[in-house]
Amino acid sequence: MERTWRWFGTTDKITLQMLRQIGVEGIVTALHDVPLGEVWTRASIRELREYIESYGMRWSVVESLPVTETMKYGGPDRDEQIAVYCQSLRNLAAEGIHTVCYNFMPVLDWARTDLLHPNPDGSSNLYFSYAEFAYFDINILKRKGAREAWLSMAPLTASDGSTIHRDILAEVDELAATMTPEGEHELVENIVIKTQGFVSGNFREDDEAPLEKFRLLLDRYRGIDKAQLRANMKYFLEAVMPVCDECDIDLCVHPDDPPIEILGLPRIVRTAEDIRWLLDAVDNPHNGLTFCAGSFSAGAYNDVTAMAREFASRTHFVHLRSCQILPNGDFTEADHLGGRANLVELCRTFMHEESRRGRSLPFRVDHGRTMLGDEARGYNAGYSFLGRMFAMAQMQGVIAALMNDG
Ligand code: DNO
């Protein structure tokens, strides 16, 4: 499997010199400076590609070419935006880049409530707390109907399949009793700014009124239910597939992270049934999947090993990461050799797939612990250096052992 690493461009504190020393072969990146909705020009793609190549690596995967909100909710300018998207795809292919990751999550790209959740050993991990997320929704965002929605929320499922009985509203009220303005500020930073700002999403690190923007975006989805969002995704896929065919681009959707419905928004890339739907809706090998084991493993209803086996033939990019669901239903990111996703088994499955195809599949370790001083270096949330390097070495060992077994 091709060892790749997500790198955020020339301003990333983790440099290509560093990555070369630790054995990275391919780079996963995007033109992070291009504003949402604008064409990625051939010249800018070439410049970044040549920069990467000057360090002896290749630009293997684009993560992500952003699908703008209008394409997701079906706004009046969606065809215009699809044309921009197609042009960027053509330009990428012309520069030799043929694997493109994207997501179809409304408004929020990914969500966590705590970015430095302490582990007993002194390192830290990303964490998602239902109570804190509900607090953000009800007390900070003040979304209309939020309290009622959390009240009627379906019970959470534990890792062993049992039902978790939890009074989220009581927990929110308990949090409210001790919450400080700093605590609220931190939640907004974690949910909206620090996790979204660097992934070329809707929010920037210097956004002055992120909550206003958030509410406006949520508004755009009024009346968009699961069926409508699916229809919009199918429309998008049907429109871009001819370009993918013409340019041999593997487009691979990233699952919803976490795989739950949040903020009253439909999320349609969460479960095996969703993936089956989207691969069948436009049955073309170029319409593929980014198999993000971390996102899938955060949902107790997802059997990650079975999903890998079922969808390997349509997987074009693999994210190796594993989550642990806690007894109260919250989840945290586990060690890469632990948690719900059996990454050893997943490597075996994808290595079989590689032999079947006769070409290698790019993988990257997704996220990693923050450890041994990573926390003081100002890396992007979840994208530490030492923690990710440690995880990559673990995965490299697993892959070497499997290769040895034949
Ligand atoms: C977060 C990432 C996501 C992912 C995009 C893909 O760490 O997994 O930002 O890159 O959703 O489009």
Give the three-class secondary structure for 328.
Answer: coil
Which of 244, 274, 367, 374 is the catalytic position? Answer: 367
Return the pLDDT at 201. Answer: 80
Q: How far is the CA of 97 from the centre of ligand 1 (A)?
A: 19
Active site residue 319: yes
Ligand 1 atom showing the smallest separation from residue 199 Cα: 9
Return the pLDDT at 377. Answer: 96
Return the pLDDT at 405. Answer: 85
Return the pLDDT at 195. Answer: 93
Could you tell me the residue ranges of all domains in the chain? 2-109+221-405
Give the three-class secondary structure for 90.
Answer: helix
Which of 319, 330, 335, 347 is the catalytic position? Answer: 319
Q: How far is the CA of 176 from the centre of ligand 1 (A)?
A: 31
Q: How far is the CA of 91 from the centre of ligand 1 (A)?
A: 22
In single-letter form, the type of residue at position 328 comes to: N
Region label for 57, one of left (φ > 0), alpha (ψ between -120 and 50) or beta (otherwise): beta
Residue 203, both tokens: 């929010």
Q: How far is the CA of 109 from the centre of ligand 1 (A)?
A: 7
At 128-184, the pLDDT tens digits run 999 999 999 999 999 999 999 999 988 898 888 899 989 999 999 999 999 999 999
Give pLDDT < 50 ranges for the chain: none
Return the pLDDT at 159. Answer: 84
Q: Which residues line ligand 1 (CB under 6 A)?
A: 63-64, 101-103, 109-110, 199, 254, 257, 382
Return the pLDDT at 240. Answer: 98
Return the pLDDT at 391. Answer: 98
Which of 254, 286, 316, 336 is the catalytic position? Answer: 254
Return the pLDDT at 307. Answer: 98
Q: Which CATH class is domain 2-109+221-405?
A: alpha beta
Is pTM beyond 0.75 here?
yes
Return the pLDDT at 204. Answer: 86
| Distances 23 to 18, 19, 97, 393 between C-alpha atoms, Å | 9, 7, 21, 9
Ligand 1 atom showing the smallest separation from residue 383 Cα: 7
Is the separation of the CB atoms in 148 and 277 below 8 Å? Answer: no
β-pairing verdict for 287-292 and 99-103: unpaired
Is the separation of the CB atoms in 91 and 309 below 8 Å? Answer: no
Ligand 1 atom showing the smallest separation from residue 201 Cα: 9
Q: Which helix (H) or strand (E) holds 20?
A: helix 16-21
| Measured CA angle at 210 (ends 330, 205), to 5 deg | 85
Active site residue 316: no
Residue 286, Cβ neighbours under 10 Å: how many? 22
Q: How far is the CA of 165 from the centre of ligand 1 (A)?
A: 31
Task: Identify the residue whose C-alpha is closest to ligand 1 atom 2.
Answer: 110
| Helical spans, DSSP H, in 64-145 | 69-73, 78-94, 130-135
Return the pLDDT at 206. Answer: 86
At 64-87, the pLDDT tens digits run 999 999 999 999 999 999 999 999
Residue 135, both tokens: 């607090």
Residue to mutate, 7, 99, 109, 333, ligand 1, most ligand atoms under 8 Å from C-beta: 109
Is the separation of the CB atoms in 61 and 26 below 8 Å? Answer: yes
In single-letter form, the type of residue at position 18 comes to: M
Q: Which helix (H) or strand (E) holds 277?
A: helix 272-281
| Distance, CA of 136 to CA of 145 (rounded, Å) | 13
Burial class of residue 148 (count of CB atoms within 10 Å of its CB; 0-12, 13-18, 19+): exposed
